[in-house]
Chains A and B, each alone.
Chain A
Amino acid sequence: MRGFIITLATSGIILLLVLYSNTLRDSYRGMERALTEPQSLTYGAALFDDISGEVNSIVGPSVSFAEANDSLGVQITDTLPKSNYSAQLNAYETFIEGTLANRTRTTIDANLSNLRTGTVTMRINQDYAYSAAPQGGEMSFTRSGGTNATAYYINISVVKSRAAYIPFTFNPSGDINVTVRYTDLNGTILTSGTVLSSGTDFMQVTHDAGSVRINFGRKSGNNGAVWINATDVSASLGMLATLPPINSSKRLGYSYDDTLSYQQGKVSIFRNLGK
């Protein structure tokens, strides 16, 4: 009888060990799943990022950020006026929805209709609106409620001769520091001063054919904006805006108005193109 009890007790202990072994195995497998399952999502995000980068390389502008403790620098490089990139965008859209999707076993559906209009509209940090239009339009950098920019540095290059130049009037009690470096075939105009974010100040350079007008101040009810009209002139633009630090609820980056849908297996991503 005692032998049976010992046997049963031993059996019980062995059974417990088996159960413990199974639990441990399930725990490891759970951890492994937790690590591997997001992999397809990570890959989808990387492909999304790649496509956004390629679209940006086609239509521009180049955007970079420099964060400091008390400010955020946003640097934009672009050409004015914008060219029409419809042909390139059509080709790229067909390419990613067909060839790339097939080769990556994914379903990609891009909607680049807004960019095909020729006007590039971009939301920066989910807050600021940058827009650059084709011939006859303008470039603008604004924010609903005002940009609160403390400084702008504008660098423009034009390959044309200068016919006339109207400088800024500047306002000593202005709240935005402005520096403009304007280079054309006649040389470089370097001007700096302060402008009122709630007013309007501009400089204009007229060339043999065409003109460039750089405006600062209040635009469509929003203070601290900058907008540039390049008429019959092809200009290279570099802009550095010194802005307040990014709001913690906003994401650092840019996004276009156009969207991309990505699907692979259970992973589905749909959002605006951007980084």
Chain B
Amino acid sequence: MKAFLITLDAFVAIILLFSAAFLMYSSSFQPYAPRGVYLKQFTNDMVTVMEKNGDLGSAIAGNTSGMHYMMGFTPQLVCMQVSITDSAGNRSVTVAKDECGEYGRELQVIGRSLVYSGQLYTVKAEAWYKKEQVT
């Protein structure tokens, strides 16, 4: 009888132990910094600076060096691509940061308007973290 009780006790203990381990595993949480917030604000700021500098207007006029130069200041992990489309929906220019591959995690997209030489444009900026660097 005593042996039976000990066995039962051990059995219940093992079940409880595994249940607890399972519960803790299923509710485990990886602390995660919401880097998308930073990326979105950063993208907004970058495009604002490019607009104030006149880089977006220059790109429409055919000179994208200003935009490339500005994108060179972005952090190494951050990739960026800016597209400017006219009011008829025709793509005017697209400039991407060098040495950036396909989209990675945390893709953030912002849109804004631009008036240049009396014409109306939409500016779409996409930013993401490089895939291979994300842990």
A contact residues vs B (CB 8 Å cutoff): 3-4, 7, 10-11, 14-15, 17-18, 21-22, 24-25, 28-29, 32, 35-36, 39, 42-43, 46-47, 50-51, 53-54, 57-58, 88, 91-92, 95-96, 99-100, 103-104
Bound CA span A99–B6, Å? 75
**Residue numbers in A under 8 Å from B13 (CB-CB):** 7, 10
Is B20's beta carbon under 8 Å from chain A?
Answer: yes
Instruction: Please state if B115 and A17 are interface contacts (CB–CB under 8 Å).
Output: no
**Secondary structure call for the A interface:** helix
A108 closest partner in B (C-beta): B113
**Residue numbers in B under 8 Å from A43 (CB-CB):** 40, 44, 110
The 0/1 profile, CB within 8 Å of A marked 1, for residues 43-73 of chain B is: 0100010010000000000000000000000
Instruction: Please state if B9 and A3 are interface contacts (CB–CB under 8 Å).
Output: yes
Pick the contact of A57: B48, B89, B115 (CB < 8 A): B115
Bound CA span A57–B113, Å? 12
Known: A21-B24, A25-B28, A29-B29. 14 other contacts (CB 8 A): A3-B6, A7-B9, A7-B12, A7-B13, A10-B13, A21-B27, A21-B28, A32-B32, A36-B37, A42-B40, A58-B115, A100-B111, A100-B112, A100-B113
**Measured between C-beta atoms, what is the minimum distance from A13 to chain B in Å?**
9
Number of A-B contacts (CB under 8 A): 91
User: Which of B74-82, B96-104, B117-125, B126-134 forms contacts with chain A?
Assistant: B117-125
**Measured between C-beta atoms, what is the minimum distance from A172 to chain B in Å?**
44
Instruction: Please state if A99 and B24 are interface contacts (CB–CB under 8 Å).
Output: no
Bound CA span A176–B89, Å? 53
Instruction: Please state if A54 and B28 are interface contacts (CB–CB under 8 Å).
Output: no
Interface size on B, residues (CB 8 A): 36
**Residue numbers in B under 8 Å from A54 (CB-CB):** 113-115
Bound CA span A21–B23, Å? 9
Instruction: Please state if A92 and B24 are interface contacts (CB–CB under 8 Å).
Output: no
Instruction: Please state if A18 and B111 are interface contacts (CB–CB under 8 Å).
Output: no
Instruction: Please state if A103 and B17 are interface contacts (CB–CB under 8 Å).
Output: no
Interface residues of B in 3-53 (CB under 8 A from A): 5-6, 9, 12-13, 16-17, 20, 23-24, 27-29, 31-32, 34, 36-37, 40-41, 44, 48, 51
Instruction: Please state if B120 and A95 are interface contacts (CB–CB under 8 Å).
Output: yes
9 closest A-B pairs by beta carbon, nearest first, are A25-B29, A14-B20, A104-B111, A50-B112, A95-B120, A3-B9, A46-B44, A36-B34, A18-B23
**Residue numbers in B under 8 Å from A36 (CB-CB):** 34, 36-37
Pick the contact of A95: B12, B16, B34, B113 (CB < 8 A): B113
**Residue numbers in B under 8 Å from A35 (CB-CB):** 34, 37
Pick the contact of B113: A21, A32, A96 (CB < 8 A): A96
Bound CA span A95–B88, Å? 10
Pick the contact of A50: B24, B113, B124 (CB < 8 A): B113
